[in-house]
């Protein structure tokens, strides 16, 4: 990924962090519920931690235990960090890593207002994490690794296995491609920041997991990659609140369908840029996305791997 694209991703999600998520609360909640979060899960996190940017629930496969150290790569406003902190308990530690200062600022405010103390937040790219080797029992991530360039995904996974203790687990929810995406989608940077056009093939992901431990492909003793068959077209839906009605609208019969970049709330969908001058550009993207069945090309997967004990 070029530095320009990296900055675009950072700017896009920093803009999301600065928004008032309460204006689109019903859609944000619907996204989380559609990917397996229970009402109890949603009630356990501070208001404003859930930004509707999930593509699964990595905690469902993480198997967290009291006293463990867990690291969330691309932790955003702390949605999964706070749930993990509850599972590892006061003797455990939940660490969020994110490259957006705006996201980390929001996460820290969320932790303070909820008086959650067994959490820590680190400003860093997930390809170069300033944490000690073999310091984590589990590493999770939710719809973030797909935002890396192809060549950086293996770098990230090598960092994962460096930081994991022997026997440690990787539990990831991510969007992967079922088949090679058409060039038009691959070139669309707005769909890139939206988790679609940067999706890698399942076979590529499995290969990177095996290589991440070193030259020996047997370094990863257990790998599971499971298609959750979730409906990713939910990202096109927008809440019915009037405050969300101005974003990337296209008229469809009796209602308006708002077509967004995947994983982005309505107020920042389709583009990392804003302003009236971009209206035509946004509408053009909205029309194209409205006719794309995301489920034909990509899907949400649960990815689980264990670092060998010896």
Distance CA 96, CA 70 (A): 9
Q: What is the pLDDT of residue 174?
A: 93
Q: What is the pLDDT of residue 290?
A: 66
Q: What is the pLDDT of residue 213?
A: 65
Pairing outcome for strands 119-123 and 93-98:
parallel
- Could you give the domains of the chain? 3-180+195-232+295-306 (3.40.50.150), 237-293 (no CATH)
Question: Quick one: which of 53, 55, 45, 43 has its CA closest to 19?
Answer: 53
Work out the burial of residue 24: count CB atoms within 10 Å of its CB; fewer than 13 is exposed, 13-18 middle, 19 or more buried.
buried
Question: Quick one: which of 49, 59, 13 has its CA closest to 28?
Answer: 49
Q: What is the mean pLDDT of each run of 10 residues along the chain (310 residues)?
A: 67 82 82 88 91 90 97 96 97 97 95 96 96 98 90 93 95 91 68 70 90 57 84 63 35 34 38 41 58 82 89
The pTM of the full predicted model, rounded to 2 decimals, is: 0.81
Q: What is the pLDDT of residue 3?
A: 64
According to DSSP, the residues that pair with 97 across neighbouring strands are 73, 122
Most distant pair of Cα atoms in the chain: their distance: 61
Q: What is the pLDDT of residue 33?
A: 84
Q: What is the pLDDT of residue 59?
A: 97
Distance CA 56, CA 263 (A): 11
| Structure letter (DSSP) for residue 201 | B
Tell me the CA end-to-end span of the chain in Å, nearest whole number. 34
Q: What is the pLDDT of residue 186?
A: 67
């Amino acid at each position: 990924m070029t530095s320009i694209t990296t900055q675009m991703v950072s700017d896009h999600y920093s803009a999301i962090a600065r928004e008032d998520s309460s204006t689109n609360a019903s859609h944000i909640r619907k996204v989380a519920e559609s990917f397996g979060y229970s009402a109890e899960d949603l009630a356990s996190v501070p208001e404003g931690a859930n930004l509707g940017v999930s593509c699964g629930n990595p905690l469902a496969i993480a198997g967290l235990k009291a006293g463990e150290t867990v690291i969330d790569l691309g932790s955003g406003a702390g949605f999964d960090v706070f749930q993990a902190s509850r599972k590892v308990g006061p003797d455990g530690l939940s660490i969020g890593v994110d490259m957006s200062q705006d996201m980390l600022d929001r996460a820290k405010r969320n932790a303070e207002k909820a008086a959650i103390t067994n959490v820590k937040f680190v400003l860093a790219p997930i390809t170069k994490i300033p944490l000690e080797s073999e310091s984590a029992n589990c590493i999770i991530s939710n719809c973030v690794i797909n935002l890396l360039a192809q060549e950086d995904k293996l770098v990230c996974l090598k960092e994962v296995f460096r930081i994991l203790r022997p026997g440690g687990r990787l539990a990831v929810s991510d969007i992967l491609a079922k088949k090679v995406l058409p060039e038009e989608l691959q070139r669309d940077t707005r769909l890139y920041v939206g988790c679609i056009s940067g999706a890698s093939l399942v076979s590529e992901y499995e290969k990177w997991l095996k290589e991440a431990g070193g030259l020996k492909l047997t370094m990863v003793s257990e790998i599971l990659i499971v298609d959750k068959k979730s409906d990713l077209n939910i990202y096109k839906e927008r809440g019915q609140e009037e405050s969300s009605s101005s974003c990337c609208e296209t008229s469809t019969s009796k209602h308006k369908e708002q077509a967004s970049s995947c994983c982005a709330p309505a107020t920042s969908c389709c583009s990392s840029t804003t302003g009236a001058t971009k209206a035509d550009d946004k509408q053009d993207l909205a029309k194209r996305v409205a006719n794309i069945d995301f489920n034909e090309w990509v899907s949400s997967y649960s990815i689980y791997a264990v670092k060998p004990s010896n």
